[in-house]
Amino acid sequence: MEAESSRNPCPATDFNALPENCIANMLSLASAPDTCRLSSLASTFRSAAESDTVWERFLPSDYQDIIARASDSSPPVFTSKKDLYLSLSDHPLTVDGGTKSFSLDKWSGKKCFMLAARSLTIVYGDTPMYWRWISLPESRFAEVAELVDVCWLEIRGRISTRMISPDTNYAAYLVFKWTKRVYGFQSQPVEGWVGLRGSEEELRSFYLDPNGGQGRRTHILPRRRGRMGIFNRTLAKMQRPQVAMPSESSDQCPKERGDGWLEMELGDYLYKSGEDGELEICLQEVKGGNWKSGLILQGIEIRPKNSK
């Protein structure tokens, strides 16, 4: 017996003997996915892992205020804090009159937002010959923006840093689709930028075209009507020599999302606690002058980088 005792100086812990509130405190220090896994260890863990006390700590401190801003006439009702957490992880909630959606990163509990196309600043966005607004059943917002034809592509979005989670490295993603009539993106890189409004821009260059710009490098200039068309064609010819190709390290390309849309990372920013201001996101192609068409924009999503 003494030999056996010396081989096992720390006897196995009987988790069922621990008070449930003690286990709840232990679980609240883990992540939400770890809590779900730990609940299989013992019956006491299963009970504690369902408690509102545990899941309340995984939710952001202002979650009630955000839910109160839901676009529906009556905010959703959940039977438990766990159900609320899992629902917000899998089903984004539209807020602020349908101009944004709110969700949680399932693995970290950090806040995620998507800015609807209507809440973005789109150059020529209110000119029907350049952009038009349509509804798609697969979009989480009432309207999306379809690019008809532009040679100057510029889209900007802003969100207050008070709305996102502190001490988190956020990335911004353009969420979009292509129409059958798409052209102009295979021949010219676009530029993206994410940072505090007013700070120095650090542009990154990439192709929205899924072939990474390896397609035919031709400038398609459809016939234009009126004086504006003549001006824009002239502008395109003047600006064509200014095309800036991406660096060799720029190997990004759009990726398909689980919801069927495509996304392209525009940049990232490490938001530190107490750093007040507005996070600004920009996408632009204003150097090549070639005409572009066929992009359907749902919005810009801001979420923790490298989230699973």
The Cα–Cα gap between 284 and 255 comes to: 19
Q: What is the pLDDT of residue 20?
A: 52
Q: What is the pLDDT of residue 225?
A: 38
Q: What is the pLDDT of residue 188?
A: 83
Q: What is the pLDDT of residue 14?
A: 52
Q: What is the pLDDT of residue 216?
A: 39
Q: Where does the chain show beta strands of DSSP type E?
A: 93-95, 100-104, 111-116, 121-122, 131-134, 144-147, 153-160, 168-183, 190-196, 204-206, 255-256, 262-271, 278-285, 293-304
Q: What is the pLDDT of residue 138?
A: 96
Domains of the chain plus CATH, in order, are 2-58 (no CATH), 95-304 (2.60.120.260)
* Stretches in the chain below the pLDDT threshold 70: 1-49, 73-75, 210-251, 307-308
The Cα–Cα gap between 167 and 172 comes to: 16
* Structural contact between residues 278 and 197, judged by C-beta atoms closer than 8 angstroms: yes
The pairing of beta strand 204-206 with beta strand 293-304: unpaired
Q: What is the pLDDT of residue 136?
A: 97
Q: Which residues of 82-96 are buried (b: 16+ CB within 10 A; e: fewer)?
A: bebbbebbeebbbbb
What DSSP state is assigned to residue 247?
A: P
The tens digit of pLDDT for each residue in 49-96 reads 677 888 888 899 999 999 999 987 666 778 899 899 999 999 999 999
**Tokens representing 161?**
């840093």
The pairing of beta strand 262-271 with beta strand 278-285: unpaired
Of 146, 145, 149, nearest to 129 by C-alpha is: 149
Q: What is the pLDDT of residue 32?
A: 66
Q: What is the pLDDT of residue 245?
A: 42
